[in-house]
Amino acid sequence: MAFDIDMIKGVYANMAKRVDEARNIVGKPLTLSEKILYSHLWDGTPSKAFTRGKDYVDFAPDRIACQDATAQMALLQFMQAGKPKVAVPTTVHCDHLIQAKSGATADLKSANTTSAEVFDFLESVSNKYGIGFWKPGAGIIHQVVLENYAFPGGMMIGTDSHTVNAGGLGMVAIGVGGADAVDVMAGMAWELKFPKLIGVKLTGTISGWTAPKDVILKVAEILTVKGGTGAIVEYFGSGAKSLSCTGKGTICNMGAEIGATTSTFGYDESMERYLRATDRADIADAANQVKEHLTADPEVYANPEQYFDEVIEINLSELTPLLNGPFTPDLSTKVGSDMTEKATSHEWPLAVEWGLIGSCTNSSYEDLSRASSIAQQAIDKGIKMKAELGINPGSEQVRYTAARDGILGIFEKLDAKIFTNACGPCIGQWARYSDPKNAPKNSIVHSFNRNFAKRADGNPNTHAFVASPEITAAIAISGRLDFNPMTDKLINEKGEEVMFDEPTGWELPPKGFEVEDAGYLAPDADGSGVSVKVATDSERLQLLEPFTPIKDESLTGAKLLIKAFGKCTTDHISMAGPWLRFRGHLDNISNNCLIGAVNAFGHKTNMVKNQLTGEFGGVPDTARAYKAAGVRSIVVGDHNYGEGSSREHAAMEPRHLGVAAVIVKSFARIHETNLKKQGMLGLTFANESDYDLIQEDDTFNFIDIAEFAPDKQLTVEVVHADGSKDVIKVNHTYNAAQIGWYREGSALNVIKRENAS
Ligand code: F3S
């Protein structure tokens, strides 16, 4: 599991030089975020000062992390690249595919049976290509990364939106789609729009019942779920230094909930303590040598308004515990009587049925120890537990250490369920109900990050509120959503009035971390002899075949598959939910292709005309019929087509089903890039109103596709059922290299050829 200290020392050696160069080019003092970004440029030395929120820049990340749900398609694609090993240190973490039901032992056993083929595939493919593999039960990706791989000043990408958690250890860590991760694994650059910068100045210190979680709950209240979009949030100030490293991780983790590209903190003593406690003293020593580069230049924090695009100030001494929710993480309410009022007026159930502590957001030793101090008081003061309690430790190292120190035993005395060190209830993997859709209205409180409807248990009537672990414990014990542990009394089993004292805990385990089997499997030094395990009859996994180039002649006589009406997000193109099961099987998951898109003709979903037969049917079936007949198909769409997630399935599925081109009014940029990477045409109407010309029985002839070139419009002849024609112009943003991807069938085909030559 070892991190590569030489690689990290190399990053620091470069940093010293590149930060100076960047400062000269930018012509002013630099924020920490800029130092990390400029020292990770793909081309090394910066060519110019990049414009925030505008310029697209190529970066060279230091690490990649993938979780089990997203790693499947990413690694199936990587196998296509023809590389013997990943170009950048990479790890795979099995944490999403484990259900929480009976408790860790039984649940892990069950997951190891039901998802055996997926885990076996991920283990074998990791072993073959030099990827570190964390077994089911080893922990949640972001906690494991923080404990083992994150380092101050580093840049990483991960195929999960909460990759941003590693900002707690001073990284710029960003969640990406699988296709982006594959590029970096294959040795290519990673492109990102140079982010805007939001500075959050923290003054004062947290104390009593207030926790780092309340900082991000407050930031979410201020910025809302969209306020961080396209920006890095950089925390600084004396208050920032007073927070523990894992507390900083919690704050950065939930930066995803405000839409931020990522969040980060400057290197400080809390990070040094955490590095030394997690057996990485050599990183702490190396970081100490370059301390000045691992935080902003002093002028920046002295006059933040001059250097950040937006500045927020929060006095931690005045911050009080918050409960955010339900159904959105930015709806803040102060713990206590404010909640009585709000819950009553909105008819949120005041009785709390469950408290859940853990997830990648709040599952550190400190989190568990502080929550357990409340649980211990309930035992000592004879307070009967009113709600049920569930705990998901973040990693086997945290679980083992917390068990050794009696922390888990305290929860167990309150009949808490200790679930697997995995995502569990945070991602709907909670077998709480047999029929969640018809389950009753109820409230739960958890220390996770997301609380959208159905997220935890599949019940649309579950009102989930987000709070710190200590507040979650207190509310679960009291059983009331509006319980204020700072002022309210509870009646104990003897009928006496009792109150909780303030929570206490340890930032780090006093006796140090310990673990017997962390759950890590190092890859073979030479994986060339390892065979990747995929059963030929598997319904969940399928080895990919390289996409064949779309021939110019096949673009004469192409048929309209669907003209999507209105919003068409990646969820409309490739739904999630039950389809998650097929994320590693392109042919099976293609049966959800565009089934959520509204057909402009008839305004129904998944109902389109097959022009070859005149019959109406589902989109995937119709696409398959065209493909079987050797006829290419075309998708037409409206504005911002493909917005939403960066999942590459939304491009791979139509490509697999024979779609040659997607012509829209405008694209969400990541989806447009994904189409290019899969060797398809992603085009926009030169005249948006030409969208209205497209009719249900249209045939498309790409008249000048043979002259496809950068900055040159293409001409498409649209032939209608009555034989009349419209000749329209379409725009594209392909550069020469991307046209090469199209001509060779996909970006991966190009990498493979280059690798072979
Ligand atoms: Fe897992 Fe939930 Fe985090 S799904 S990675 S614990 S956000």
Q: Within a 10 A sphere around the Cβ of 421, how many other Cβ atoms?
A: 29
First-to-last C-alpha distance (Å) of the chain: 33
Question: How many angstroms separate the CA atoms of 576 and 588, rounded?
Answer: 13
The CA–CA distances, whole Å, from 130 to 269, 662, 732 equal: 33, 36, 38
User: Does 730 share its domain with 746?
Assistant: yes
Domain-located, residue 28 = yes
Mean pLDDT, range 663-681, rounded to an integer: 94
Give the Å distances, CA to CA, from 39 to 14, 68, 154. 7, 30, 9
Q: Give the end of a domain, one of 300, 318, 336.
A: 318
- Residue at 530 is within a domain: no
Which helix (DSSP H) or strand (DSSP E) does residue 718 occupy? Answer: strand 714-719
Say if ligand 1 is within 6 A of residue 360 CB.
yes
Closest ligand 1 atom to residue 95 Cα is 1
Do 442 and 355 form a contact (C-beta atoms < 8 A)?
A: no
pLDDT score at 2: 66
Token pair of 106, please? Answer: 């039984």
Position 1 confidence tier, pLDDT thresholds 50, 70, 90: low
Among candidates 106, 76, 157, which has minimal Cα distance to 656? 76
44 domain residue, yes or no: yes
Query: Domains in the chain: how many in total?
Result: 3
pLDDT tens sequence across 388-402: 999 999 999 999 999
Q: Is the CB of 118 under 6 A from ligand 1?
A: no
Final residue of a structural domain among 318, 335, 365: 318
Structure ipTM over 0.85, yes or no: yes
For residue 482, give the amino acid letter: D
User: Residues 17, 58: one domain?
Assistant: yes
Residues 582 and 726 in one domain: yes
Question: In DSSP terms, which residues pair with 334 in a beta bridge?
Answer: 322
Alpha helices, DSSP H, located in 41-190: 68-80, 104-114, 116-129, 141-148, 178-185
Q: If you measure from the C-alpha of residue 337 to the centroid of ligand 1, how many angstroms do you get, rounded to a whole number? A: 31
3-state secondary structure 338-389: HHHHHHHHHCCCCEEEEEEEECCCCCCHHHHHHHHHHHHHHHHCCCCCCCEE
Whether residue 492 is contained in a domain is answered as: no
- Residue with tokens 């404990």, as numbered in its chain: 147
Residue 49, judged by CB atoms within 10 A of its CB (0-12, 13-18, 19+), counts as: middle
256 CA: nearest ligand 1 atom: 7
Claim to verify: residue 291 and residue 331 sit in the same structural domain: no
Q: What CA–CA distance (Å, rounded) separates 155 from 144?
A: 16
* Choice from 160, 165, 253 to test ligand 1 binding pocket (greatest atom count within 8 A of CB): 160
What distance in Å separates the CA atoms of residue 202 and residue 211, rounded to the nearest whole number? 13
Pair 339, 259 in one domain:
no
CB of 164 closer than 6 A to ligand 1?
Answer: no
Domain closes at, from 448, 468, 484: 484
- Ligand 1: nearest atom to the Cα of 427: 4
Q: Is the peptide bond before 326 cis (omega within 30 degrees of 0)?
A: yes
Q: Show the domain range for 298.
A: 5-318
Instruction: Return the residue whose CA atom lies nearest to atom 3 of ligand 1.
Output: 360
CA angle, 369 as apex, 258 and 513 as ends, to 5°?
100
Residue 335 lies in a domain: yes
The C-alpha atoms of residue 123 and residue 427 are separated, in whole angstroms, by: 22
Q: Residue 66's closest CA among 121, 7, 6?
A: 121
Structure tokens, 725 = 């024609």
Kindly state if the Cβ of 160 falls inside 6 Å of ligand 1: yes
Task: State the pLDDT confidence band at 576, using cuts at 50, 70 and 90.
Answer: confident
What counts of helices (H) and strands (E) characterise the chain?
Answer: 26, 30
The per-residue pLDDT for 216 is 98
User: Do 337 and 483 meet the contact criterion of CB atoms below 8 Å apart?
Assistant: no
Report the pLDDT averaged over residues 121-133: 98
Q: For residue range 643-658, what is the model confidence (pLDDT) as tens digits?
A: 877 789 999 999 999 9
Q: Residue 607 is encoded by which pair of tokens?
A: 């109902």
Mutate to test the pocket of ligand 1, among 427, 451, 454 (most ligand atoms within 8 A of CB): 427
Residue 644 has what pLDDT?
Answer: 79
Here the CATH number for the domain that contains residue 384 is 3.30.499.10
| 679 and 641 belong to one structural domain | yes
- Do the beta carbons of residue 66 and residue 75 sit within 8 Å? yes
pLDDT band, very low/low/confident/very high, at 731 (cuts 50, 70, 90) = very high
Average pLDDT of the segment spanning 676-704 = 98
Does ligand 1 lie within 6 Å of residue 162's CB atom?
yes
Residues with Cβ < 8 Å from 427, sequence gap 6 or more?
96, 455
As a whole number of angstroms, the distance between CA 195 and CA 712 comes to 30
Query: Do residue 314 and residue 278 come from a single domain?
Result: yes
pLDDT of residue 498 exceeding 80: yes
Q: Identify the pLDDT of residue 204.
A: 98
If asked whether residues 302 and 382 sit together in one domain, one would say no
230 CA from centroid of ligand 1 (Å): 22
For residue 426 and ligand 1, the question of a CB distance below 6 A is answered with: yes
Ligand 1 in reach of 141 Cβ (< 6 A): yes
Average pLDDT, the chain: 96
pLDDT in tens, 341-387: 999 999 999 999 999 999 999 999 999 999 999 999 999 999 999 99
Q: Decide if 112 contacts 122 (C-beta within 8 A).
A: no
Any domain includes 419? yes
**Would the CB of 359 count as within 6 Å of ligand 1?**
yes
Active-site amino acid positions: 95-96, 160, 450, 645, 647
Nearest partner of 136 among 395, 452, 362, judged by Cα: 395
In this structure, are 291 and 354 located in the same domain?
no
- Residue 545 included in any domain: no
Do 744 and 701 contact (CB within 8 A), yes or no? no
Three-class DSSP labels, 128-190: HHCCEEECCCCECHHHHHHHHCCCCCCEEEECCHHHHHHHHHCCEEEECCHHHHHHHHCCCCE
Residues 263-296 have pLDDT tens digits of 999 999 999 999 999 999 999 999 999 999 999 9
Task: Tell me, yes or no, whether 212 and 236 share the same domain.
Answer: yes
- The structure tokens listed for 324 are 């955010």
Is the CB of 388 inside a 6 Å radius of any atom of ligand 1? no
* 337 and 242 together in one domain: no
With a 6 Å cutoff on the Cβ, whether 140 touches ligand 1 is yes
- Mutate-to-test residue for ligand 1 from 68, 144, 423, 454, highest number of ligand atoms within 8 A of CB: 423
Read off the pTM.
0.93
From atom 1 of ligand 1, which residue's Cα is the shortest distance away? 423
459 lies in the same domain as 557: no
The two structure tokens encoding residue 487: 């002022």
Task: Output 3 or 112, whichever has higher pLDDT.
Answer: 112
Q: Which of 70, 99, 142, 144 to mutate to test the pocket of ligand 1 (most atoms within 8 A of CB)?
A: 142
C-alpha 96 to ligand 1 mean position (Å):
7
Output the CA 432–ligand 1 centroid distance in Å.
18
The tens digit of pLDDT for each residue in 510-527 reads 999 999 999 999 999 999
Per the DSSP assignment, residues forming a β-bridge with 332 are: 324
Q: 220: CA distance to ligand 1 center in Å? A: 18
Q: Read off the CATH number of the domain in which 664 is found.
A: 3.20.19.10
Q: Tell me how far apart the 2 most distant CA atoms of the chain are, in Å.
A: 88
**Under a CB-based contact definition with an 8 Å cutoff, are residues 447 and 466 in contact?**
yes
What whole-number percentage of the chain has pLDDT above 90? 93
Residue 752 forms part of a structural domain: yes
